[in-house]
Amino acid sequence: MSARLVCWWSAGIASSVATAVALKTITASERIVAYCDTSVTEHPDNARFFADCERWYEQPIVKLRSSRYKDTWDVYERTGWLVGVNGARCTTELKKLVRREFEREGDVQVFGFTADEPQRADRFRANNPEIDARFPLIEQGMRHADCAALLREVGIEIPMMYRLGYRNNNCLGCVKGGAGYWNKIRQDFPTVFRRMAKLERKLDVAILKKSSKGLRLRVFLDELDPTSGRYEAEPEVECGLACGTTLDTIEAQEA
């Protein structure tokens, strides 16, 4: 009997289409669509997209949650960590560790990297050689724009964050965003912006940095120039099972 197929759904355009392709093309004894549920800090429209995708797949999406933290804000408050050179602690706690608890040896695991980003797939394979990882969008030559077009063809509206001009569907107020991203959040979701600005001061840590005379200086959100940054020019923010702080880094901090 073939291995269990686990398609990792993240409320993004790419993962939703990768799941649909995998369910039709990969044979398995058990077919699971799994979601590391961070919906409480995502845009409310994701609930609609979730239901649309369940109908499309004709099977439920299994919601998985951290047993330690209730949401991203809980991670920030209890760990005092927002983001660093190794990524974001929230991604590790709410996605990577949850995935590791759920996976079984021999699983065929599907991820939504597109033909635009083969290097991310290569990096994931190099960092996770024990996983039988499949990237159906790369295999089919499907780019992000192709995925959006396919959703339109099957009658599913893309999530609201994309319609608002964001290039991803991460949690509202992603700590991996740059100055342009945060100024867009300030405009579109001012309550989220103010909450993060207040949390930065409470923890005495800043998401943003700037270079000045060879030094890296902190820039707190409550002092960020509203005209600073250009979101369209910033690198796309990764937030998924291939991103985040390493377990070794976390364990070293807690030792």
Residues 194, 124: one domain? Answer: no
Residues 118, 152: one domain? Answer: yes
| pLDDT bracket for residue 240 (50, 70, 90) | low
Any domain includes 19:
yes
Q: Measure the CA–CA gap between 149 and 160, rounded to whole angstroms.
A: 15
Any domain includes 161:
yes
- Number of domains the chain contains: 2
Does the predicted TM-score (pTM) go above 0.85? yes
Specify the CATH number for the domain of residue 21: 3.40.50.620
Sign of CA dihedral 194, 183, 83, 130: positive
Using CA atoms of 96, 100, 104, 106 in order, give the dihedral in degrees to the nearest 10: 50
Q: 188-238 pLDDT, tens per residue?
A: 999 999 999 999 999 999 999 988 777 788 999 999 999 988 887 676 666
Domain boundary among the residues 139, 166, 193 is at: 166
Sign of CA dihedral 246, 64, 242, 73: negative
Residues 22, 126: one domain? Answer: yes
Distances (CA, A) of 20 to 101, 136, 139: 24, 10, 14
Q: 142-155 pLDDT, tens per residue?
A: 999 999 999 999 99
Positions of E strands within the chain: 5-9, 31-36, 61-64, 83-84, 87-88, 108-110, 132-134, 208-212, 215-219
Residues 189, 106: one domain? Answer: no
Residues 100, 125: one domain? Answer: yes
Q: Which domain holds residue 13?
A: 5-71+94-166
Residues 65, 108: one domain? Answer: yes
Any domain includes 65:
yes
Any domain includes 44:
yes
Residues 211, 159: one domain? Answer: no
